[in-house]
Homo-oligomer: A and B are copies of this chain.
Amino acid sequence: MPFFKAAGIVGLGMLGGSLALDMRRLALAEVIIGASRRRSTLAQARKWGVVDEVTTDISGLIGKVDFLILATPPSVVPIYLKLMARFKPDLLATDVASVKKVIMGQAEKFLRKPHFFVGSHPIAGSEQSGLKAARENLFTGRTVVVTPSANNPPKAVNRVIDFWYALGARTVRMTPEEHDFFLALTSHLPHLVAYALVEATSVLKRPAPDYCLGSGFRDTTRIAKSNPSLWAEILMANRKYVLARSAVFRRRLHYLEELLRAGDTEKLTCHLQRIVQLRERMDEKG
């Protein structure tokens, strides 16, 4: 039996498109309606059978659905929160943004209390973007951080958790603050570092020939292909924690540089051994 009569997905990029594919496959809604600002994306979504219906009329969409997923860049979310407040204040809704404090802050600001917007962040992103990157089973076995509001009725939170569970994901609850604190380190800082690493290649007078770029460089900087306007938003929205983590990172890099300057290979080996152990432990647990 479907979870929802009509589910709306705003934004048919990699995450929104993948959600639509799995929700149809698993029959989680009787009807899935996709919305996008781009008509070309809607045409593709219809052609590929990603959704049942498409629309550009957002207030109309809100009127029709009993579950709304905002799979848009963070900056677009408040537009929909305001429309929800106006047209259907009791609509169950979630999002997929990599920053939660700013999003949940806007939910408190624009929605009456109690409200039914339960923040989510599926840790299932990639450097790819757009509907062409959407795929089935993207969420299977992945973790979704759910950041409920104190103003969410428990039933709303449980329905959103059940939704992710139905997609094969496991969920974990955090406060928006905790989410942003941890993700600054595990996702936002690596993006910042990868962008800086790629840029460091461009300032050489003699740029390195491309055949010198081994798989190490390519993997380390793969996420520097991530959507620039989306990531500018994410990094900016979480800049307090990103800057704090970047300062820690720079101190660790500086320490490695000091070990190199000191010329003590044995001491450097011991230090790297400890780091390799840390990294290997992440694989065991991950």
CA–CA, A245 and B123, complex, Å: 32
Q: Does A280 contact B (CB under 8 A)?
A: yes
User: Chain B nearest CB: distance from A237 CB in Å?
Assistant: 9
CA–CA, A203 and B141, complex, Å: 28
Q: Does A213 contact B (CB under 8 A)?
A: yes
Tell me the chain A residues, 224-249 only, with Cβ under 8 Å from chain B.
224-229, 231-233, 235-236, 239, 242-243, 245-246, 248-249
Q: Does A85 contact B (CB under 8 A)?
A: no
User: Chain B nearest CB: distance from A221 CB in Å?
Assistant: 6
CA–CA, A268 and B269, complex, Å: 37
Q: Does A47 contact B (CB under 8 A)?
A: no
Chain B hits for A124, CB < 8 A: 214
Stretch at the interface among A86-94, A149-157, A159-167, A181-189: A181-189
**Residue of A192, A199, A243 contacting most chain B CB atoms (<10 Å):** A199
- What total of chain A residues lie within 8 Å of the partner, measured CB to CB? 90
Chain B hits for A236, CB < 8 A: 260, 263, 265, 268
Q: Does A44 contact B (CB under 8 A)?
A: no
* B253 & A192 in contact (Cβ 8 Å cutoff): yes
- Whether A245 touches B185, Cβ cut-off 8 Å, given contacts A218-B282, A221-B190, A239-B260, is no
* B187 & A217 in contact (Cβ 8 Å cutoff): yes
- Whether A269 touches B229, Cβ cut-off 8 Å, given contacts A126-B215, A192-B256, A208-B186, is yes
CA–CA, A114 and B167, complex, Å: 68
CA–CA, A162 and B255, complex, Å: 43
- Whether A193 touches B195, Cβ cut-off 8 Å, given contacts A224-B276, A245-B200, is no
Q: Does A143 contact B (CB under 8 A)?
A: yes
Instruction: Please list 13 pairs of residues, one from A and one from B, whose beta carbons are closer than 8 Å in the complex, sorted by A's number.
Output: A126-B215, A185-B204, A186-B212, A194-B220, A195-B275, A199-B252, A202-B278, A219-B220, A221-B282, A224-B275, A225-B276, A228-B273, A236-B268
List chain A positions with a Cβ less than 8 A from chain B. Answer: 123-127, 143, 145, 170, 172, 181-183, 185-187, 189-204, 206, 208-229, 231-233, 235-236, 239, 242-243, 245-246, 248-250, 252-253, 255-257, 260-261, 263, 265-266, 268-269, 272-273, 275-276, 278-280, 282-283, 285-286
